[in-house]
Structure 1
Amino acid sequence: ADKVEVFTHSWKEDEEHLRWESDGASGYTIDEVEGQRRGSRIVVHLKEEHEEFAKTHRVRGIVERYSNFVGFPVNLNDERVNTVEALWLRPKKEVTDEQYKEFYQFTAHAMDDPRYTMHFSADAPLAINALLFVPEENAERMGLGAQPPGVALYCRKVLIDAQPEGLLPEWLRFVKGVVDSEDLPLNISRESMQDTALVRKLSEVITKRFIKFLAKQAEDSPEDYKKFYERFNRFLKEGIVASPAHQELLAGLLRFESSMTDPGELSSFDGYLDRMNEGQEEIYFLVGSSREALERGPYFEGFRDRGLEVAFFTEAVDDYVLEGLREYKGKKLIAANRSGIELEDLPQEGEEDSLDEKETEGVISWLNSSLEGRVAQVEAGKRLVNHPMVALLPEDAPNAQMRAMMEAMGQEAPEAKAKLEVNPRHPLIRQLASIREERGELASKVADQLTNHALLAAGMEVNTADMAEEMAALIGDLLE
């Protein structure tokens, strides 16, 4: 503006009629101007290059953005602009579902209905009034890219920031709504928000309340929560990795199929703990492409036959998430494809046909020599039932997904060699033991192929071109 004038007159009739004027550079003047009505009138003399601020649509947009919820009417050309009520300040029992829906659609610029609505007020440790919504659908899942923050920050119904970066953690960007705190100063800037202890405390309180709200929804209506989880679980998993302070609370919201549930039925870690065998101290899990593939794979059968539950995770990010989670309520999370897991002895069918101790030692010694350099160690094990061999990752080695991520980031993944566990009861291993001395070359080729398949199942790197050539050569030898 070139200058600003403020005309004012007291409610007392005999008081002065005043005009305050300033150009913002040379100070201000105050003088008397007769004929003023009670109240104040502000006149802004715009510069020519900013004439757009005199246009009706521009003024309307500013009022709707920053003053839409103030408690007194704002009129523009004799028409009230701020017609939406600040529902977050009203008691929950006075607000209808239809009002919540209209408010959500207005603030989120949405056409759908809210899936969940969380309305709460608190006086301690901060004065907070919040009205938060979960949309029906996940926009990022629909290919719209990462969404900006969706919860606006207000102070006494005056907008501070429509998309505050520091108000909620980034993984809660799917949440829409309003947070109002009268403890915030009205002049807080966007730049200072992330460095303000008050905003950090506000974020912590709201985040914990929202996580507990989701847990209550999951308990009260599992089927509705299942639909939410199908659409929004990526955000919860992102939170486990990005927010260590909220890991355990978020882990309680995870859902998965399990060897103790029917196909399609989801369980939680709390459900797993309730079903744990007496004395069991670990939560076992597997990550793979599908439940069927995991149940048919070599890692599950030993746990199945011992009645040990295994949680099945089937999304690409799950490996990374569970690697960071480590434990839940004091119980360690252990991948069932890792070495170092001690399983109790269990009598199995075909035990009488198993290699005896001397034969087992002989074939294990030969395999260690034949596969030297490819694997860390070969030993006989008791976890396998229907498979001849399995590759187990060292306890402290990064899994296949972690290695791929490190390489994509230009970091060199530490070298990790798997340990092979052999099933001395399996016909292939018994036949391998019987031919290794008389037909050593053929036995070595068979051992290489068994090893290749075991390493592939473990997600370890295998030269598939060499593997195909070796398989062709092996088949050729067998057909001679």
Structure 2
Amino acid sequence: MAETNDATRRKMEFQAEVQQLLHLVVHSLYSNKEIFLRELVSNASDACDKLRFEAAQQPELFEGDGELKIWVDYDRTARTVTIRDNGIGMSREEAVAHLGTIAKSGTREFLQKLGAEGQADARLIGQFGVGFYSAFIVADRVTVRSRRAGSLPSAGVLWECAMTGESAGTFEVAGIERPERGTEVVLHLREGEDEFLSGVRLRELIRKYSDHILWPILMRKERWDEDRGDEDRGELVKEEEWEQVNRASALWARAKQEISEEEYIEFYKHVAHDFEAPLAWTHAKVEGRHEYTMLLYLPQRAPFDLFERTPRHGLKLYVRRVFVLEDAERLLPRYLRFVRGVVDAADLPLNVSREMLQDSREIEAIRAGVTKRVLGLLEQLAKNEPEKYARFWREFGRVLKEGIIEDPANRERIAGLLRFASTYNDSPEETVSFDDYISHMKPRQERIYYLTAESFSAARHSPHLEAFRQKGIEVLLLADRIDEWWVAYLPEYRGKPLASVAKGEMESALLSEEEKKAREEADERLKPLLERLQTALGERVKAVRVSSRLTEAPACLVVEEHEPGMQLARLLRELGQEVPAHKPILELNPTHPVIARLQAASDEAFADWALLLYEEALLAEGGKLEDPAAFVQRMNRLLLTPTA
């Protein structure tokens, strides 16, 4: 027993988010209790990885013992299970920070969401990568002893937490004398959890969940003693000698045909700290100028920090099976940050750093290869398993769209993976691809039409769609904020130009000769009205013209073909950016009764009618009124004005 320095003992309260997480873990994962061992062994493995990495620059951290191992033991009398490693260890400050708080932005909101979703919690808790707390599924008290590699024996730390009695919700920290580096986690089991006080059961779980761990996992040898146990039936007795339980081989380095589906899944859970199976994976070895192996996974769900400014990147970098870097962001472009897995390179130095990765040709080659592999996996899913791909799209579609902007080399491939809502099925479900759209195109149609809006409902009811609906021409309905950005980077797809139905004039090829003639006649007939409206609206609009796209609404606002859309201008203003002054064009429906009413309006009422028409079009576009009170007053005045 390590000697405790009582003068340094301090009782502390858990961060509120940790208390919430503990509650969720204990009450949501009880049906899958055995995963506690997988999580704690995985943490021990990470600690060994980190020591190996840091010791590459500071060999003295090994303290004369470079054989990294993990030990698992149990004590029936004390009713404890112990997981110990000789990895990097923790200082007192690190123990408080890592075991008492969750230093991740968005944590509070995410936990509140989890608490509201009931038993679905179990599938999402793993996103935090805080598997240590799974110890409390089977234990009502947990004791941790640790010392950081390279520190003095007197710098050991004791961390202890009980989930019952007056101490519930708090933990104690004290300084201890600890000659060994690394961390020891002792679980004091709850009543009814005696199944884990068995060497056979613990070995079974290690081989099931942790066989792929690179470091040796050791347990004491056991032999059958006929003279022990109740009624002389005999029992297993532990010996002093330790033996290795796991295979301790790099799973990704084995041939694919030797790896079972269960092994792939369990490795994913280890590397991604996820409780669910992955959606799909790809495993490949690349040989040639650059040699590397990759094992890449698509998760079932988006992590809660996917859209944070500094999200976790999911790839671990190994060099010849030696761990080098966690979250190696240079191995994948940012728009694929949801991918989890490992890359093992043969051509990099073991002491590679993040700075070295910035200008490495090898890393650029690996990045290109990994990116193509992920896009290929997505293409296979989209073609062969559309239900799985639909699930992927719901979780990660918004992120994949970033690739249109970020990755010009793969822009066409990424565009082929995008999915949209459209007027073809009039559903908010995003199921239509660009290739689907092209197959739906009308004989004389040359462009792929789209409309951006704040929501699907706003897009679906936009007046800009009226003539397109009447002619049966499909329009893609884009309602994500990022849609305004990426469409500017994709002028065409497979030779078909993209065109917004809220920009420019309607394509003349889509109009019949009768429609063109009617338009010319309306231009001539309404010319005085158009000039009068232009004068009344002044600087608010660039021009007033007759529309070919309206069949039901009296008016709409459009911009020139190569100007930024009104929705994009609003988003930029919300972000505090300056927006070039582009005035919209007001288009009128020449057959609408309101236009006839406008022509007959007195000079006194005309200004009100003109502004009302403009403001209605602005609202239909999703814009905001400069003076809502004045709008209401104008409308009331016109409602009270008797008709001729």
TM range (shorter): 0.7 to 0.9
* Aligned-partner residue type, residue 603 of structure 2: G
Give 1:299's aligned residue. 464
Match of 1:419 in 2: 585
Query: Is the contact between residue 523 and residue 545 of structure 2 (CA under 8 Å) also seen in structure 1?
Result: no
Q: Give the AA of the match of 1:218.
A: A
- 1:20-419 matches, within 5 Å, as 54-57=180-183, 68-69=213-214, 78=242, 80=244, 83-140=247-304, 147-261=311-425, 263=427, 264=429, 266-343=431-508, 344-346=510-512, 358-419=524-585
Please say if residues 447 and 497 of structure 2, whose CA atoms lie closer than 8 Å, have aligned partners that are also in contact. Answer: yes
Conservation of the 8 A alpha-carbon contact between 1:140 and 1:147 = no
Partners in 1 of 2:514 and 2:61 — Cα distance? 92
Matched-pair contact (CA < 8 Å) for 2:545–2:586: yes
Structure 2 unaligned regions, length at least 5: 1-59, 66-148, 157-177, 186-211, 220-240
Q: Which structure is higher in helix share?
A: 2
* Contact residue 3 and residue 46 of structure 1 kept, 8 A: no
Distance of 2:275 and 2:61 partners within structure 1: 42
Report the equivalent of 1:23. Answer: none
- After superposition, the C-alpha distances for 1:10-54 in whole angstroms (9 at most, x for unaligned) are xxxxxxxxxxxxxxxxxxxxxxxxxxxxxxxxxx99755777682
Taking only aligned residues, the RMSD between alpha carbons, in angstroms, comes to 3.4
2:558–2:586 CA contact under 8 A, matched in 1 = yes
Letter of the 1:331 partner, please give it.
K
Question: What's the secondary structure of 2:431's corresponding residue?
Answer: coil
Q: Following the alignment from structure 1 to structure 2, what is the Cα–Cα distance between the partners of residues 427 and 123? A: 72
Whole-Å separation in 2 of the counterparts to 1:231 and 1:5? 48
Separation in structure 1 between the aligned mates of residue 464 and residue 492 of structure 2, nearest angstrom: 20
Return the alpha-carbon distance in structure 2 between the equivalents of residues 401 and 269 of structure 1. 22
C-alpha deviations, 1:117-147, integer Å up to 9, x for none? Answer: 1112221352221111111211127998853
Q: Quote the Cα distance in structure 2 between the aligned partners of 1:5 and 1:427.
A: 91
Question: How far does residue 307 in structure 1 lie from its aligned partner after superposition?
Answer: 3.0
| Structure 1 unpaired stretches of 5+ | 7-43, 60-66
C-alpha change, 1:406 and 1:189, in structure 2 (3 Å) is same
Residues 1:163 and 1:293: Cα distance change in structure 2 (over 3 Å): closer
State the SS of the aligned residue for 1:252. helix
* Structure 1 pair 356–333 and aligned structure 2 pair: CA distance change class (3 A): closer
User: Which residue type is aligned with residue 555 of structure 2?
Assistant: M
Q: Does 1:455 align with 2:600?
A: no
Instruction: Give a deviation string over 1:323-358, Cα, whole Å, max 9, x none.
Output: 333322232211111123323434889x99x98665
2:379 and 2:351 map into 1 onto residues whose CA distance is 36
Q: Deviations over 1:374-433 (max 9, x none)?
A: 100011122211111111022232223432443344432111111111111111112222
The answer (yes or no) to whether the contact 2:466–2:550 under 8 Å persists in 1 is yes
Q: TM-score, normalised by structure 2?
A: 0.61
Which string of whole-angstrom CA distances, capped at 9 and with x for unpartnered residues, describes residues 142-194 of structure 1?
Answer: 99885311110111111111221211112222111111121222232222112
Report if aligned partners of 1:152, 1:178 keep a CA contact under 8 Å in 2.
Answer: yes
**SS in structure 2 at match of 1:203:** helix
TM-superposed CA distance for 1:469, in Å, is 2.8
User: How much identity, in percent, do the aligned residues show?
Assistant: 33
Contact 1:432-1:443 at 8 Å conserved across structures: yes
Cα distance, 1:369 vs structure 2: 2.0
Over 3 Å counting, the alpha-carbon distance change for 1:231 and 1:363 in structure 2 is same
> TM (normalized to structure 1)?
0.80
Question: Which stretches of structure 1, 4 residues or more, deviate above 6 A after TM superposition?
Answer: 2-6, 49-53, 74-77, 141-145
Note closer, same or farther for the CA distance 1:217–1:147 as it changes in structure 2 (3 Å cut): same
Q: Contact conserved, 2:458 with 2:622, CA < 8 A, in 1?
A: no
Task: Give the 3 Å change call, closer, same or farther, for CA 53–452 of structure 1 in structure 2.
Answer: farther
The match for 2:172 is none
Deviation at 1:219, TM superposition (A): 0.7
- Number of aligned positions between the proteins: 432
SS for the counterpart of 1:204 is helix
CA gap 1:397/1:174 in 2 versus in 1, 3 angstroms = same
Of the structure 1 ranges 324-333 and 367-376, higher mean CA displacement relative to structure 2 is found in: 324-333
Match of 2:629 in 1: 465
Structure 1 residues 275 and 5: CA distance shift in structure 2, 3 A: closer
Tell me: higher relative CO, structure 1 or 2? Use CA pairs within 8 A at least 6 residues apart. 2
Write the distance in 2 (CA, Å) between the matches of 1:380 and 1:209.
51
Match of 1:29 in 2: none
CA distance in 1, matches of 2:597, 2:150: 97
Question: Is contact 1:156–1:180 with CA below 8 Å preserved after alignment?
Answer: yes
